Chains A and B, each alone.
Chain A
Amino acid sequence: MQTLFRNPMAGPDVLGLTSGASLFVATLLLVGQFNPGFTVSLFQNPWSIALAASMGGALVFILIIFIANSVKDNTSLLIIGLMISAATSSIVSVMQFTSQADDLQAFMVWTLGSVGNTGWKELSVLSLIILGGLIISYALIKPLNGWLLGENYAKNLNINLDRSRFLIVIATGLLTGGVTAFCGPIAFVGLAVPHLVRLLVPATNHKILIPAVMVGGASLLLLCDMLAQIPGSTQVLPLNAVTSMIGAPVVIWMIIKAKRISV
């Protein structure tokens, strides 16, 4: 996403994809209120949540790209993304306000984020979705590299802009939606990992970047989860709190140290 928007601040949570996914999951829950028992079965059916979250993510992404084509200015786009994020979050809040205690509890737990609530059934669904997203991402190495030079140069290098933009939307929707559905809206990792990885592996070629970001993201999340379990205690912290608590200072420190941040 940072490549597509040529903006180092772009990320699924900043641009509202994660909250879009949340909105769709919350909508599912709200619909569930009107026929009791539906919600429970819903949370037991991993496909429906995954589908809802992916759709929510992809829809917000399409909306963002649509707006991006008319504003052309990265800063405005970022502000618009933040606004969309705020708007969807507020709709979710309204839904929470009107929903029943049980559903609310389920939803709240979901938003805190956790990688522990996934059984084999969920994992098999998640891995299929992730695999699909990753295959598309890999097929996009060349256009993604091309996007780094900007639309005009990419086009001059015979890169099909419309098709690759569409595929980037699909891949991002799948990856963000899939993870959000099962682990909750995990903040920060999507924005920070590419920067952390680039500071370690100074590459601009997506052939190197994509696997590096994959490994980096997974390692960071695993580390955060280990810390969330609080070694030597039975208490478990919400994963979302840990990712931001650990990650934000790290990114600030790295930016100050490296003096610059770029796509």
Chain B
Amino acid sequence: MFDLTNIALLTKDLVVGYTKEKKSHALFDSLNLSLRAGELVCFMGSNGVGKTTLIRTLTGLQKPLGGKIETINNQAVAVVLTDRINSAVMTVYDLITYGRYPYLNWNVSLSDRDYEIVEQAIKQVHLESIVDKKLFELSDGQLQMAMIAKALAQDTPILFLDEPTAHLDLNNRVEIMNILRSLCRTSNKTILVATHELDLALQTADRIWLATSDRKIVSGIPEDLVLDGTFDAVFQFKGFDLKTGKISNEASRNVSISLTGSGHPFLWTKNALERCGYFISSTAKLKLEVAEEEAKPVWLLTSKTEMTKFYALEKLLNALISRDTKGED
């Protein structure tokens, strides 16, 4: 089992920012945060709030304006940034061996142990099939995986990632987050991910760091931050209802439908109706029942005068919309 009381990194009154023309611009003030061993923390905040700057500071790539960062036994931190790798002809395997550089002498000869660790990193992110490919042959998702493998080969207890899922499709985003979470569980690594993928963060993170507008960071488990309204305060959602996790649709058609049914067909029917501007109400006269016929969903629409059966949701929607334009009840 992983130990959640074990502290991996601590900040003491940390001030993070940048210096421009000899003036300091603080992005975050007196941060007192901690990361525990084996936990996955998602760091969220609006664009431009300083997520990258904080990651760079915690990694040691840039100096804090004040305060201190302490890691266990002063161990190094591995990082995956958004920087592009220009060397397109490098192979994935070569890239991953870079992770061993802090342990090598000037001659960069890898020992058997180094090769073992590289192989293990390749296995952990399932890159076996593409290790001999060159970087320019990879998709964005594969490249990101290779960078994560490189960071794993550094064999550090702490791993930071800056927007690892940006520009990736949903499938790749989910895969990356799943891999990160399993690394936390199996290798007891501490992983901090800066991201703006709200839905993924809410479903995978052990804890969330949320950058607020007053240069602080609120830390808490995802559910607490949703329920106490911290998320709403920070993001000021425009048409997104976080508590249901859905986009709020305006009931523009002024038509109410009473919907009954169960399971996934019911949920997706509800989605379709709301998306098209219908209001779902249990007291409406127009009734729609989602039923099942030979293991396939069917839709039974009952109005005052008649009952119609539909075998496809699109047909049902078309019928509803044409009713609407004819002005029927």
Contacts and interface: CB of A to CB of B under 8 A. Distances in A.
Interface of A: 6, 139, 141-142, 145-146, 148-150, 152-153, 155-159, 198, 202, 204-205, 207, 260, 262-263
Given A205-B108, A260-B136, A157 B101 contact: yes
A145 B95 CA distance: 10
A158 B108 contact: no
Given A158-B102, A205-B108, A149 B85 contact: yes
Contacts of B99: 157
Given A148-B85, A204-B89, A260-B136, 13 more contacts: A6-B87, A139-B106, A142-B105, A142-B107, A149-B87, A149-B95, A150-B84, A150-B85, A150-B86, A156-B79, A157-B154, A260-B88, A262-B87
Contacts of B76: 158
Contact of B87 (A142, A152, A159, A204): A204
A207 B61 contact: no
A142 B112 CA distance: 19
Interface residues of B, number: 31
B242 interface: no
B90 A204 contact: yes
B81 A262 contact: no
B86 A262 contact: yes
Q: Which of B78, B79, B105 has the most CB of A within 10 A?
A: B79
B116 interface: no
B101 A158 contact: yes
B175 interface: no
Interface in B56-81: 56, 59-61, 76-79, 81
B104 interface: yes
A141 to B, nearest CB: 6
B128 interface: no
Contact of A156 (B78, B84, B105, B107): B78
A263 B81 contact: no
Nearest to A3: B87
A146 B90 CA distance: 12
Nearest to B147: A153
Nearest to B76: A158
B98 A149 contact: yes
A152 B81 contact: yes
B87 A141 contact: no
B87 A148 contact: yes
Contacts of A141: 106-108
Q: Which of A148, A153, A158 has the most CB of B within 10 A?
A: A153
B329 interface: no
A158 B107 CA distance: 15
Nearest to A154: B101
A158 B74 CA distance: 14
A141 B104 CA distance: 12
A157 B272 CA distance: 51
B98 A157 contact: yes
A146 B87 CA distance: 11
A38 B270 CA distance: 96
18 contacts: A6-B86, A141-B106, A141-B107, A142-B107, A148-B85, A149-B85, A152-B79, A153-B81, A153-B85, A156-B77, A156-B154, A157-B98, A158-B101, A204-B87, A204-B91, A262-B86, A262-B89, A263-B87
A263 B106 contact: no
Contacts of A6: 86-87
Contacts of B328: none
Contacts of B102: 157-158
A145 B98 contact: yes
B61 A146 contact: no
Contact of B90 (A142, A148, A260): A148
Contacts of A202: 89
A142 B106 contact: yes
A1 to B, nearest CB: 14
B101 A159 contact: yes
Contacts of A158: 76, 101-102
Nearest to A205: B94
Given A153-B81, A156-B61, A207-B107, A146 B101 contact: yes
B78 A145 contact: no
Contacts of A159: 101
